[in-house]
Amino acid sequence: MESNLSTIRVIYADTDAMGIVYHANYIRWFEHGRNELMRQVGIVYSDLNQLGLHLPLTQVFCRYLLPATYDDLLTVETNFDYIKRASIRFGSKIWNENRQKLHAEGYTIHACTNHVGKIRRMPALITGLIEKYSISKGE
Amino acid sequence: MESNLSTIRVIYADTDAMGIVYHANYIRWFEHGRNELMRQVGIVYSDLNQLGLHLPLTQVFCRYLLPATYDDLLTVETNFDYIKRASIRFGSKIWNENRQKLHAEGYTIHACTNHVGKIRRMPALITGLIEKYSISKGE
Amino acid sequence: MESNLSTIRVIYADTDAMGIVYHANYIRWFEHGRNELMRQVGIVYSDLNQLGLHLPLTQVFCRYLLPATYDDLLTVETNFDYIKRASIRFGSKIWNENRQKLHAEGYTIHACTNHVGKIRRMPALITGLIEKYSISKGE
Amino acid sequence: MESNLSTIRVIYADTDAMGIVYHANYIRWFEHGRNELMRQVGIVYSDLNQLGLHLPLTQVFCRYLLPATYDDLLTVETNFDYIKRASIRFGSKIWNENRQKLHAEGYTIHACTNHVGKIRRMPALITGLIEKYSISKGE
């Protein structure tokens, strides 16, 4: 299964007064991982924009298992959960550096819309990934 | 049912290059709403800390319905979904100013832990809210 | 001298693992204050945008005097330092609630540009404030 | 002169509705650069903390020259401007990938304090860098 591994170094900006990474920052790192996964399979988000398309979030979920702290080197693992006609779901895991401890895991679901927010079918650019990378069609 | 309504003015910092509020900022506003709800029922988070207790997030979910944009005045509605022995769930809604359009809704689940992250029972300070405000025990 | 006072409640999202407000968040609150000051003198930023104009930052400075912490209620004080032909400078102070302790103070300088970033003269909408509110012309 | 070059990929979280990187995020990236520079000369910030010391910001300045946009790969260049008895100044530049276009440049000044915020002399761990890397003493 196609997945991307990228790396994040935790800085003070990412932490909070409990001494750990603030929970909403994992959601931000999910975006970082999606971008890297897309780039890995040959899609730059701005290519989509030039087709007049966006992939706005419709849902996010995250489960927090183990706090990460200042200066940790984290591994963001991202994969395609499924690609449907008008939606796509990415799975995200935030690991410690060597992927032996899982800090958080979750997913985001995205619609496909035009510039004014109208739902559109996923372009071939994206549905073409299904066969190429054996991605689930979410049925 | 006890709930809190508080107000957020969207600034550029909250938006992204799609021209709308960046999704992770709703999660940040959920925290704002929880604080205000807790304050409304007489609990300041630092009181908990002085008992040696924290309420770290274990899960977050958010569904995005309608984009909010720069300079919008948003209403954050927060309530107690349930209070259990060792966890608490808050429900959050982000409305437009007059609460006729719902931008996003979701929830956060929190454990009760001591300073080193060990699970603890919810203190009476919190379980005492169940009866006072007729809050579900989540069964 | 025309100035605006607005209020910010510090949440965990604003703090860092040193237990204090993360420094870049004061810069974000400067923006909040500028918006409120502009609204107070009758200008909504989107009015400018409809004239095809923007006020992008060209400089920011902040001096940190006293750390703010979780749950503090802060007062953001914003005023016009000067309005020139093609730039405007706002002064910002972040106080504690009753303005007896100053946490941080600084300024931002903004150019006036069109949608593609070309420098433009300040519109009458803004230069008109100089006389009305006795604002310095920065000479 | 000892300096560090590190790399940042701009994500949507970093941008705002003007379609460019939100100005306060450069300040966040300055922190990223300082951490990497310190690590490069053998100092991990948590080593300082174990000596009971912190380096809180006392001033930040940034000049914005050219907007960066979504998906840009940026180079953060960081160096020591000076190290004094009780303060240290870092210089920061945010370049495009190949360092031919400068997006922003600035500096941060930091005090040396103990855990309760009292000013302390810079530890030998830091002043020792002056000779080793020919850093200015700021006189």
Chain D residue closest to B20 (CA)?
A: D17
C69–A contact, CB cutoff 8 A: yes
Q: In the prediction, which pLDDT does D31 show?
A: 98
User: Cβ neighbours of residue B42 under 8 Å, at least 6 residues apart?
Assistant: none
Residue contacts between C and D (CB atoms, under 8 Å): 52
Element holding B60 (H helix, E strand) = strand B57-64
Q: How many CB atoms lie within 10 A of CB D138?
A: 15
* Span D79-134, pLDDT tens digits: 999 999 999 999 999 999 999 999 999 999 999 999 888 999 999 999 999 999 99
In the beta sheet, which residues pair with residue B138?
A: none
Cα–Cα distance measured from residue A61 to residue A78, given in angstroms and rounded to the nearest whole number: 14
Does residue B20 surpass a pLDDT of 80? yes
- Residue D37 φ/ψ, nearest 5 degrees: -65, -45
Amino acid making up residue C80: F
- Residue B41 φ/ψ, nearest 5 degrees: -95, 10
Q: In the prediction, which pLDDT does D137 show?
A: 95
Q: In the prediction, which pLDDT does B47 show?
A: 86
> Closest Cα to residue B114, out of B126, B125, B122?
B122
Let me know if D72 is a catalytic residue. no
Q: In the prediction, which pLDDT does B110 show?
A: 98
Does residue B77 surpass a pLDDT of 80? yes
Mark yes or no for CB contact A62/B63 under 8 Å: no
Query: Averaged over A46-61, what is the pLDDT?
Result: 92
Q: In the prediction, which pLDDT does D11 show?
A: 97
* N- to C-terminal Cα separation, chain B: 17
Average pLDDT, chain A: 95
Does residue B31 surpass a pLDDT of 90? yes
Q: In the prediction, which pLDDT does A101 show?
A: 98
Distances (CA, A) of B20 to B27, B67, B71, D28: 15, 6, 10, 22
Mark yes or no for CB contact D24/C23 under 8 Å: no
| Per-residue pLDDT band at B2 (split at 50, 70, 90) | very high
Element holding A23 (H helix, E strand) = helix A23-40
Q: Which residue has the tokens 């940190």?
A: C64
Does residue A108 surpass a pLDDT of 90? yes
Q: DSSP per residue over D74-136, as a string?
A: EEEEEEEEEE-SSEEEEEEEEEETTSSSEEEEEEEEEE-EETTS-B-PPPHHHHHHHHHTT--
Average pLDDT, chain C: 95
Task: Specify whether the CB–CB gap between D35 and A9 falls below 8 A.
Answer: yes
Q: In the prediction, which pLDDT does B37 show?
A: 97
Task: Specify whether the CB–CB gap between D86 and D119 falls below 8 A.
Answer: yes
Structural domains in chain A plus CATH codes: 3-132 (3.10.129.10)
A20–C contact, CB cutoff 8 A: yes
Q: Which residue has the tokens 């303060």?
A: D87
Cα–Cα distance measured from residue A75 to residue A72, given in angstroms and rounded to the nearest whole number: 10
* N- to C-terminal Cα separation, chain C: 17
Mark yes or no for CB contact A16/C17 under 8 Å: yes
User: Quick one: CA dihedral C56, C62, C67, C72, positive or negative?
Assistant: negative
Does residue D17 surpass a pLDDT of 80? yes
> Closest Cα to residue B27, out of C68, C36, A30, A80?
A30
Task: Tell me how close the Cα of D70 comes to any Cα of chain A, in angstroms.
Answer: 8
Does residue A139 surpass a pLDDT of 80? no
User: Quick one: CA dihedral C16, C18, C20, C21, positive or negative?
Assistant: negative
Residue contacts between B and D (CB atoms, under 8 Å): 31
Task: Specify whether the CB–CB gap between B43 and B83 falls below 8 A.
Answer: no
Amino acid making up residue A135: I
* Span A62-71, pLDDT tens digits: 999 999 999 9
Q: In the prediction, which pLDDT does C45 show?
A: 85
Mark yes or no for CB contact A23/B59 under 8 Å: no
Strand order in the sheet with B102-111: A3-9, A73-83, A87-96, A102-111, A57-64, B57-64, B102-111, B87-96, B73-83, B3-9
From the CA atom positions of chain C, what is the Rg in Å? 16
Cα–Cα distance measured from residue D92 to residue D112, given in angstroms and rounded to the nearest whole number: 19
Average pLDDT, chain B: 95
Mark yes or no for CB contact A24/C13 under 8 Å: yes
Q: How many CB atoms lie within 10 A of CB C102?
A: 15
B69–D contact, CB cutoff 8 A: yes
Task: Tell me how close the Cα of D20 comes to any Cα of chain B, in angstroms.
Answer: 7
Q: In the prediction, which pLDDT does A47 show?
A: 86
Cα–Cα distance measured from residue A74 to residue A90, given in angstroms and rounded to the nearest whole number: 18
* Span A76-89, pLDDT tens digits: 999 999 999 999 99
Report helix angle A23-40 to B23-40, nearest 10: 170
Cα–Cα distance measured from residue B28 to residue B25, given in angstroms and rounded to the nearest whole number: 5
Q: Higher confidence at residue B26 or residue B116?
A: B26
Strands A87-96 and A102-111: antiparallel
Does residue A73 surpass a pLDDT of 90? yes
* Span A10-31, pLDDT tens digits: 999 999 999 999 999 999 999 9
Cα–Cα distance measured from residue D34 to residue A67, given in angstroms and rounded to the nearest whole number: 24
Q: Higher confidence at residue C1 or residue B113?
A: B113
* Span C11-61, pLDDT tens digits: 999 999 999 999 999 999 999 999 999 999 999 888 898 899 999 999 999
Query: Averaged over A49-65, what is the pLDDT?
Result: 95
Q: Which of residues 112-131 of C touch B (CB under 8 A)?
A: none
Cα–Cα distance measured from residue D70 to residue A96, given in angstroms and rounded to the nearest whole number: 27
Q: In the prediction, which pLDDT does D46 show?
A: 81
In A86-127, at which residue ranges do the beta strands (DSSP E only) sit?
87-96, 102-111, 113-114
Average pLDDT, chain D: 95
Which token pair is C15?
Answer: 């703090």
* Span C65-109, pLDDT tens digits: 999 999 999 999 999 999 999 999 999 999 999 999 999 999 999
Task: Tell me how close the Cα of B58 comes to any Cα of chain D, in angstroms.
Answer: 23
Q: In the prediction, which pLDDT does C61 show?
A: 98
